[in-house]
Homo-oligomer: A and B are copies of this chain.
Amino acid sequence: MGAGQSDGRPTVAVVGATGAVGSVMIEIMNARESVPWGEIRLIASPRSAGRTITVRGVEHTVRALSPEAFDDVDIAMFDVPDELSAEWAPVAVERGATVVDNSGAFRMDPQVPLVVPEVNGSRVTRRPKGIIANPNCTTLSMMAALGRLHEEFGLRELVVSSYQAASGSGQEGVDRLRAEIEAVAGKQVGDRAGDVAEALAAAGLPEQSPFRAPLALNAVPWCGSRKEDGWTSEELKVRNESRKILDLPELKVSATCVRVPVVTTHALAVHATFGREVSVEQARRSFEQAPSIVLRDDPDAPEGPDFPTPADVVGAEPTYVGRLRQAMDFPNTLDFFVCGDNLRKGAALNTYEIAETLVSHSSVGE
């Protein structure tokens, strides 16, 4: 165990403790007693330093980000923008910490494992840079389910379309969607682009938005930044991160990422082709045995079909899976719908679970 332990208990730091994901992280630490941390250190920008936040019943004062803030830290969980992670994660490592980073800065670095504990948790022990990356929230929302099926049936191909929540764009995204919904609600506002734009302007909303088009009463097929050949960064992340996590460098993937007017929880329609034959019954059994998956899939329930929707999953830790169908025209292929809270399993929770895995492997500070 690392240098910062007191009574054998490791010291953990939450970097970005006052942000949207950081706040969920603290909720999770309050709810989960799994790791008896020694010291809990909250770190944020100098602007937020000095604020107090109660964690596990004890009031903590937020410290400003500085090299010294990482002294004696065993595990530093980073929930900050890419450029801050790129700059500060190596500083934390140099001071002796193992970093679990939720930014995109290190995910595709071959010397940095990209970890979903229930899929490839053992990878936490091989971290030559002292950094472990947490996947992108869209990839993560389907990865527990896909990892499970891959283990049993051997994943070969993946065609996915996403239904992504506004909070994937942070608090700014949530605020924008809420304001847009308010602007178009109950006023007989038309649903043509011009009508919506007019309503948003009348409500005083700036034209500048985290989204590339109005999101209220709409669906916006553009998430992230533009990459080569018409792809978005989000779509390439789904492809590249899925390949890395599942250790399938040749996995065939096509993704179309679309933002929908949902506040929290990403959903994905998944068309997955396997190397071996797979039935709906086999897949259901597989999911039922997975502790981090909730199966809600009963099309023939007497009270009407049961399936998960994003609203059902907000605040929940597991991934919800439903609408399982055997593709009629594609051999060894399942179609299904999966929902994951993008702030929890998609971000804070998985980061925390990586930290838990590190502690249980007793490999911190080795």
- Give the B-binding residues of A (Cβ under 8 A): 157, 159, 161, 163, 178, 181-182, 184-186, 190-193, 196, 212-214, 216-222, 226, 229-231, 235, 239, 251-254, 256, 258, 260-265, 267, 269, 271, 280, 297, 299-300, 304-305, 307-312, 314-315, 322-330, 333, 335, 337
Contacts and interface: CB of A to CB of B under 8 A. Distances in A.
A337 B300 contact: no
Contact of A280 (B216, B230, B262, B299): B230
B230 A324 contact: yes
16 contacts: A163-B260, A178-B186, A181-B184, A185-B186, A191-B262, A193-B312, A213-B309, A214-B311, A230-B280, A230-B325, A252-B330, A254-B327, A256-B335, A258-B269, A261-B261, A271-B271
Contacts of A322: 221
Contact of A218 (B222, B231, B310, B337): B310
B192 A311 contact: yes
Interface centre among A264, A312, A329 (most CB of B within 10 A): A329
A213 B269 contact: no
Contacts of A186: 178, 181-182, 185
A222 to B, nearest CB: 6
